[in-house]
Amino acid sequence: MEHLDYQDGNALAGPLSEIFTLDVTTAQGTCAGCGRRGALAELRVYGPQPGLVARCPGCEEVVLTLVRGPKDAWLDLRGSVSLRIPITE
């Protein structure tokens, strides 16, 4: 069996917690490539260097990237149509 070169989307939880106050790994996203819907935790995450690249488990297209520089973070949601984020009051 080939060694997996990615982690699941739970690997996004720590890095994204710097940006979002909610845990967005439970958010439901829609892939711009194939329309698949699923939690961010289901994405395949490559990296962390030079940046985190989260790909759709259905079509392997890039859903989001996160680059962390010393002073800025760049969150690119290029392959995400929308995110449905559960908010508990």
**DSSP code at position 20:** -
Q: Give how many residues touch other proteins by CB under 8 A.
A: 21
Find the binding residues for other proteins in span 37-66 (CB under 8 A).
46-47, 49-51, 53, 55, 60-62, 65
The residue range among 11-19, 21-29, 35-43, 68-76 that interacts with other proteins, by the rule CB under 8 A, is 68-76
User: 12-27 as b/e, with b when 16 or more CB fall inside 10 Å?
Assistant: beebbeeeeeebbbeb
Task: List residues binding other proteins (CB under 8 A).
Answer: 5-6, 46-47, 49-51, 53, 55, 60-62, 65, 67, 69-70, 72-74, 76, 78
